[in-house]
Copies of this chain bind each other. A is one copy, B any other.
Amino acid sequence: MEELRQAVTVAGLSMRLYVLPPDSTSCWPCLLLFPLAWSPGSCDLFQLGQRAGEDVCVVINAGKSRHNEDQACCEVVYVESRRSRSVTGVSREPSHNQGFCFYYWGLFDGHAGGGAAEMASRLLHRHIREQLKDLVEILKDPLPPPLCLPSTPGTPGAPSPSQLVSPQSCWSPQKEVTHDSLIVGAIENAFHLMDEQMARERRGHQVEGGCCALVVLYLLGKMYVANAGDSRAIIVRNGEIIPMSREFTPETERQRLQLLGFLKPELLGSEFTHLEFPRRVQPKELGQRMLYRDQNMTGWAYKKIEVEDLRFPLVCGEGKKARVMATIGVTRGLGDHNLKVCSSTLSIKPFLSCFPEVRVYDLTQYEHCPDDVLVLGTDGLWDVTNDSEVAATVDRVLSSYEPNDPSRYTALAQALVLGARGIPRDRGWRLPNNKLGSGDDISVFVIPLGGPGSSYS
């Protein structure tokens, strides 16, 4: 196959873009490889570009959509203190004394258009940076975070951290808040502000559709894995699988959705019922007793079918076919502000949450070897494989390379993506077991936790 190669510079990072043209089965596979000089335990902005060859991301379009709706982003982001900027009223050059930086990886799986995923891949890390700016001094201070800050961020003459209200000075008992939970809160609010920006700019900037977002920050020795949607992150450590996210779908969030429909029935119009039935109830079944469950139940029971039960269930279907209001199969993510039920004015956005679940992994609590990795994948990967198979691929691919060969992680990411895509055969893409390969966009990040740059290099 002819290969178009393009060199692109994104936010100061060298990125190689491989575009593979359409092939005989009308697919447009597209590989994006991000080289990032990632070195766990270190957070030095100036290492960038000094190492090479560590490709840690592959994005591939398996042919479902003409244009790949997956987007990815990989950055080193410098966070300057808001206080240090405005002490003199003018912005100063960042220096290492005033800020810190974080490593950032993001996967964005778009739906109903690529606009939201594209926008999130460009801007979400900037929202995170903005949220962290207020926290620079606090995170550097080993003392617990202060309960109160002065009214305006970066007010000239603002007190130093030691002058802020400290927990000890409070008259009443109070909860202790950790540094971790401040970073988690910053990420959560950044997702919310990103979503609000999409709402504001959706007309002017062509933000069509929505996207799932799975992002990882490496900051002060810890990995923060934030997931809103049905992508997934796992750590494979010494062969052991450590789940770092869970999926948010109509099935996993059924009770949240049903509770909202129960408390705010106006959101359901006269078209939907908040009750779940194993399938849609038919008019001839009126008066019979059918299996159902409500927002309080995880089990099933029988209820007598009444007229309102003939409405379409708010949550229906199973597995990949589960839908909210017969429309969308993910319940968290960014965008979707215009999403309506087909042939209806009912809005679906009120049922969707833009808030991620954030899990924290302390890299310093465990000695990592070169085969320990964090794997991020969109549902295009996980639809056709599982944690154990991915762990087996990690073992198989990495053990076939020298531990200090940086290309081993690229090879692993490629093996994961190409394994999920399959090969063209029998009028479709087939996996080795002859099952259909993923028909969705497939994106994978492989992030070495103890790779070159770590203690052994």
- Does A430 make an interface contact (CB < 8 A)? no
The chain B residue sitting closest to A304, CB to CB, is B151
The chain B residue sitting closest to A134, CB to CB, is B302
- Does A148 make an interface contact (CB < 8 A)? yes
Contact B301 A182 (CB under 8 A): yes
The chain B residue sitting closest to A224, CB to CB, is B299
Which residues does chain B contribute within 8 Å of A289, judged by CB atoms? Answer: 148-151, 153
Contact A279 B184 (CB under 8 A): no
- The CA-CA distance from A183 to B357 in the complex, in Å, is 31
Contact A299 B148 (CB under 8 A): no
- The CA-CA distance from A174 to B300 in the complex, in Å, is 14
- The CA-CA distance from A353 to B180 in the complex, in Å, is 31
- Does A298 make an interface contact (CB < 8 A)? yes
Q: Which of B188, B287, B318 contacts A296 (CB 8 A)?
A: B188
Q: How far is the CB of A379 from chain B (nearest CB, A)?
A: 20
- The CA-CA distance from A188 to B293 in the complex, in Å, is 10
Which residues does chain B contribute within 8 Å of A186, judged by CB atoms? Answer: 299, 301
Contact B355 A296 (CB under 8 A): yes
20 contacts between A and B (CB under 8 A): A148-B290, A148-B291, A149-B288, A150-B289, A151-B288, A153-B289, A172-B279, A173-B318, A174-B279, A175-B279, A182-B301, A185-B293, A185-B300, A185-B301, A186-B301, A188-B296, A188-B298, A189-B297, A296-B353, A298-B357
The A278-331 residues at the B interface (CB cut-off 8 A) are: 278-280, 285, 287-291, 293, 296-302, 304, 317-318, 321
The chain B residue sitting closest to A167, CB to CB, is B278
- Does A170 make an interface contact (CB < 8 A)? yes
Given contacts A175-B279, A288-B149, whether A188 and B263 have CB atoms under 8 Å apart is no
Is the interface on chain A under 10, 10 to 19, 20 to 34, or 35 or more residues? 35 or more
- Does A358 make an interface contact (CB < 8 A)? yes
- Does A264 make an interface contact (CB < 8 A)? yes
Contact B278 A147 (CB under 8 A): yes
Interface mask (A330-374 → B, CB under 8 Å = 1, otherwise 0): 000000000000000000000001010110000000000000000
Given contacts A173-B279, A186-B301, whether A290 and B147 have CB atoms under 8 Å apart is yes
Which residues does chain B contribute within 8 Å of A176, judged by CB atoms? Answer: 278
Q: How far is the CB of A274 from chain B (nearest CB, A)?
A: 14
